[in-house]
Amino acid sequence: MSLETFNIICYFWLGIAIAVHVVMFFVTAPFGRHTTTTWGPMVNNKWAWIIMEFPSLAIMSYFLIFGSNSFTGYAWVLFSFWIFHYANRTIIYPIRIKPTEKKMPLVIMLNAILFNLMNAGLNGYFLAELSSPERYGNEWLTAPTTIMGIALFIGGMYINWQSDHILINLRKPGETGYKIPTGFLFKYVSSPNLFGEVLEWTGFAIMAWNLPALTFAVWTFANLVPRAKNHHDWYHEKFEDYPKNRKRIFPYLF
């Protein structure tokens, strides 16, 4: 595929992200605490996470191993960050979440598969086939954007993992309900895990400095900011004593 065709696909996908962002402020994605049985057939929650996140892990691993440029420069560094994140999301995170009766609508799982096929497909193909060895050579490795992006990615990942860890451990064995999370960045926002994820992919876009990475960062923001708002509103509805000064996702801002 030529770079021109590839870029057109990226811009098209970016446009869809912006449209989805707007829609998601009006339609709550029905999984986790917002799950509902009115969206058609339901699937096991843990398996849904594994199945829907697996394409991202598999596609990036494929391009890393078989891509033309994966090892001619340092593109493998970018692949490694992505694969590391998705190894957690596909395998470790679903194993760790507490089992409940709750299920996920099949349509949500299918949407997430499409999301992962597109984002991993675009990013993997660009890094493996459209970038040159010079694009991710020695200069790139020491560029300020690379160092800043790596720091943001690692910081975001730490925030995401630590917050998910706190949330998952709110339930004692056998419990299925919800509690008000406290400590760490929950002091400032209702969804520090989603804040961490937005930081991670913003960092990835800064270090990769290419169109598909930017597209994925926009998609992550588009998905997670409305989801954080939904979580925040839900907490206020459910708990009368929910801390009033907490923001939704960005400390002090929103």
Ligand X SMILES: NC(=O)c1ccc[n+]([C@@H]2O[C@H](COP(=O)([O-])OP(=O)(O)OC[C@H]3O[C@@H](n4cnc5c(N)ncnc54)[C@H](OP(=O)(O)O)[C@@H]3O)[C@@H](O)[C@H]2O)c1
Distance CA 247, CA 254 (A): 5
Q: Which stretch binds ligand X (CB under 6 A): 16-24, 76-84, 192-200, 203-211?
A: 192-200
Q: Which stretch binds ligand X (CB under 6 A): 5-13, 129-137, 138-146, 159-167?
A: 159-167
Residue that is written with structure tokens 């957690």 in the block = 88
* Residues in a beta bridge with 150: none
Residue 181 touches ligand X, criterion: CB under 6 A: yes
Residue 33 touches ligand X, criterion: CB under 6 A: yes
**Residue 84 vs residues 25, 159, 215, 234: alpha-carbon distances, Å:** 30, 15, 20, 31
Nearer to ligand X, 130 or 222 (CB): 222
Residue 242 touches ligand X, criterion: CB under 6 A: no
Q: Are 196 and 156 in contact (CB under 8 A)?
A: yes
The residue from 11, 99, 102, 184 that contacts ligand X (CB under 6 A) is 102
* Residues in a beta bridge with 105: 42
The residue from 114, 168, 187, 251 that contacts ligand X (CB under 6 A) is 168
Q: How far is the CB of 20 from ligand X (least distance, A)?
A: 10
Residue 168 φ/ψ, nearest 5 degrees: -60, -35
Residue closest to 200 by CA, chosen among 251, 151, 130, 127? 151
Residue 223 touches ligand X, criterion: CB under 6 A: yes
Sign of CA dihedral 245, 247, 252, 254: negative
Q: How far is the CB of 28 from ligand X (least distance, A)?
A: 11
Q: How far is the CB of 81 from ligand X (least distance, A)?
A: 14
The residue from 224, 232, 246, 249 that contacts ligand X (CB under 6 A) is 224
Residue 215 touches ligand X, criterion: CB under 6 A: no
What Rg value do the Cα atoms of the chain yield, rounded? Answer: 19
Q: How many residues bind ligand X (CB under 6 A)?
A: 22
Distance CA 113, CA 121 (A): 11
Instruction: Return residues touching ligand X (CB under 6 A).
Output: 32-33, 97, 100, 102, 160, 164, 167-168, 170-171, 178-179, 181, 193-194, 197, 220, 223-224, 227, 231
